[in-house]
Structures are given as structure tokens and as C-alpha cells.
Amino acid sequence: MGRKMSSLDMKSWLLSYLRYGRQFPIVATEFGDGRADVIGVRSRYLWEIEVKISISDLRAEENKQKKHERFLAAEYYSNRFNRLLPNDFSFAVPVEISAKAKEIIEEEFPYAGLLEVGVNCTNWGVMVLKKPQRLHTKRLTARNLGYIVRGQSASLACAYRRITEMRRAVESLREMKATNNE
């Protein structure tokens, strides 16, 4: 068996799935005050996906009661307080734990969808095991969309800087190796 799938691996697969497999024009990671793992926006609807790499990680979500209470009353919160809440919410888990995760989600988070992420999944490495229930029908405003785009451009700039730093580190290692081989 190969290396276990990390949270970072899953996020990259989910971003590709949303952008290319599902044609969401806006995708982002580590977004908002609650730091959503992955989001997608299409037709001014927001889908939030929470990545869980283990059953204990999923069980820890049960401690985030305020977040899930807001989801259950999303229509109220989005209208009364103009909160930026997802229209749909799903969990994403690796293939190895998807059966057990589905049991927990159906019992503890019945409104949540479930995505299975792994090499054998056919659509950009992602398979929908359970569709999410719509939490509310309020569409994102232009202001909300601007907030999302600004947040994503910050993530893009940070990611590009990290890629550059990693590239320099790899080049330094190659130079050291070449020097040692002489």
C-alpha cells in the first residue's frame, strides 16, 4: 500500500474536481473566518467542503456545535445577520474510511454531503457518495463574491511564493549533490 492521502493531497484533488470536473468558476481553499478547507462558487451559490483524513478527525467535528447550529438555521442567519454561509455543505474523506464516515455523517450531520477522494475515483479523483441538502437559497452578493476573490488571490500569491521557495531548495540540494559527486 502507498503513502496515505494527506489533507493537502485531498484539497488539491477537490479543487481540480470543482474547477474542471464540475465547472465551478470560483474555487478557493482555506477561506473565510471559519477557514473552510475548500469552497466552490457557481451561479452565486456557495458550496463548502470540509476535509477529514481520519475517523477521529471527523468525530472532532462534533465539537463544532455553533458552526453546525448555524448551518441548521442557515436561512435565518443568512437573512437576518447577512452572514456568508454556504448553501451546501459536504465532508470529503479518503476512500479507506468512507463507509464508516457515511454512517457517522448520516447520524450526526444528516444535512451534509459526502465525497470520497482517491486514485480509483473516476471524476478527478472524487466520487459523490451522498448529496448535501440545501441549507438556504440566498445567493451571494457582488460584495460576497469580491470578498471571496480577494481571499483567493491572497492564497494564490502565498502558494506561488511557497512553490518558488521549494524550487530554490530543490536547486540547492541538486547543487550540493553535484558538488559532493565531484
Q: Of 72, 79, 44, which is closest to residue 149 (Cα–Cα)?
A: 44
Q: Which domains does the chain have, with CATH numbers?
A: 7-140 (3.40.1350)
The residues near 156 (Cβ < 8 Å, ≥ 6 apart) are none
pTM for this predicted structure: 0.85
Tens-digit pLDDT string for the chain (182 aa): 457 889 999 999 999 999 999 999 999 988 876 678 999 999 999 999 999 999 999 999 888 877 777 777 776 666 655 567 899 999 999 999 999 999 999 999 999 999 999 877 777 889 999 999 999 898 998 988 998 888 888 888 888 898 999 999 999 999 888 888 87
Q: Which is it for strands 26-31 and 45-51: parallel, antiparallel or unpaired?
A: unpaired
